[in-house]
Amino acid sequence: MVAIDDTALAVTDTGGAGQAVVYLNGSYADQSHWRRVIAELGGGYRHITYDERARGKSERATDYSFEACLRDLDAVLTARGVERPILVGWSYGAMIAMHWASRHPERTRAAVSVDGALPHEWLDDAAREQIRKLFRRLSPLFPVARPLGLAARMSAERHAEINIEINELCAPAVLDPVLDGITVPARYVLASGGNLGGEAELMERIRADLGPVLTRNPNIQVSAKVASNHSKILRKDFRAVADAVRDLAR
């Protein structure tokens, strides 16, 4: 466990002298979702995963903000003595990876975004209320979803506010300067179609909005556009994620 602020994080570190790869989870996911990517990459890397606050085996906290999650990454890197890792983030974790790479290029070798950190501006008051209603409706499923790494140990209201905050941070006026500031190699592995809470047409439009970023910043490239959707990408297209890591490690 790594202590940080008012909580402690469950960390798994395979050790070894290989290139360190740090995996950053989706909003309510735990580190188990990375097992296929890790197995595909194999033992030539040092694999580090951890559960965010109130996810998996990590403890609850009072602060679940995005900035708290960036502090968590700092704490894990410091505690494990990791220098210049490749950061691989899925969904919410992709935002952590890209923000960290933009803020700390001297501490980052490269970054991989797995269908996340995509500029978009569809969130309005009606959409915020729709998100809150969705999580209230899903809340009876949380006890079943938690052991599967699909929900956190927090209320439906907390789940919703985390989702709202990260969508607000994806507004182009907020996210574009972050992505434009990335000076290390970065790769996107994009999913296809829709997912829970996001219809296919909307999700594909959001992915297409990455185009201007790619034009402005040559450090960022799309490594692959795969067939699986946002929710299934780490299960069905883990090889594409592993290929992006291998490319960056070379």
CATH of the domain at 96: 3.40.50.1820
**203 pLDDT exceeds 90?**
no
Higher-pLDDT residue of 144 and 96 is: 96
Cross-strand pairs, 21: 47, 86
Where are the strands (E) in the chain, listed by range?
2-4, 7-9, 11-13, 19-24, 45-50, 86-90, 110-114, 186-190, 220-225
Strands 86-90, 110-114: pairing is parallel
Task: Please give the DSSP secondary-structure letter assigned to residue 198.
Answer: B
Separation between Cα atoms, residue 148 and residue 138, nearest integer Å: 15
Inside any domain, residue 124: no
Inside any domain, residue 227: yes
Inside any domain, residue 137: no
Describe the crossing of helices 156-169 and 172-180 by its angle, rounded to 10 degrees. Answer: 60
Average pLDDT of 149-167?
A: 90
For 72, the domain range is 2-119+174-249
Inside any domain, residue 62: yes
Strands 86-90, 186-190: pairing is unpaired
Inside any domain, residue 235: yes
Average pLDDT of 34-53?
A: 96
Describe the crossing of helices 156-169 and 92-103 by its angle, rounded to 10 degrees. Answer: 50
pLDDT band at 194 (very low <50, low <70, confident <90, very high): confident
**51 pLDDT exceeds 90?**
yes
**139 pLDDT exceeds 70?**
yes
Separation between Cα atoms, residue 16 and residue 85, nearest integer Å: 13
**195 pLDDT exceeds 80?**
no
| Edge-to-edge strand ranges of the sheet holding 45-50 | 11-13, 45-50, 19-24, 86-90, 110-114, 186-190, 220-225
pLDDT at 197: 61
Distance, first Cα to last Cα, the chain: 31
Q: Tell me the Ramachandran region of residue 11: left when phi exceeds 0, alpha when psi lies from -120 to 50, beta otherwise.
A: beta
Inside any domain, residue 132: no
Separation between Cα atoms, residue 163 and residue 247, nearest integer Å: 31
pLDDT at 193: 86
Inside any domain, residue 145: no
**68 pLDDT exceeds 90?**
yes
**196 pLDDT exceeds 80?**
no
- Work out how many domains the chain is built from and give that number: 1
Average pLDDT of 6-13?
A: 94
Separation between Cα atoms, residue 37 and residue 88, nearest integer Å: 10
How high does pLDDT run on average in the chain?
A: 93
Write the burial class of residue 172 (CB in 10 Å: 0-12 exposed, 13-18 middle, 19+ buried): middle
Cross-strand pairs, 45: 19
Inside any domain, residue 217: yes
Q: What's the length of the chain?
A: 250
Average pLDDT of 52-57?
A: 90
Residue 110 · residue 87 · CB < 8 Å:
yes
Query: Which stretch of 4-8, 96-100, 124-128, 196-200 has the lowest confidence by average pLDDT?
Result: 196-200
- What share of the chain in percent tops pLDDT 90? 77
**181 pLDDT exceeds 80?**
yes
DSSP string, 48-111: EEEPPTTSTTSPP-S--SHHHHHHHHHHHHHHHT--SPEEEEETHHHHHHHHHHHH-GGG-SEE
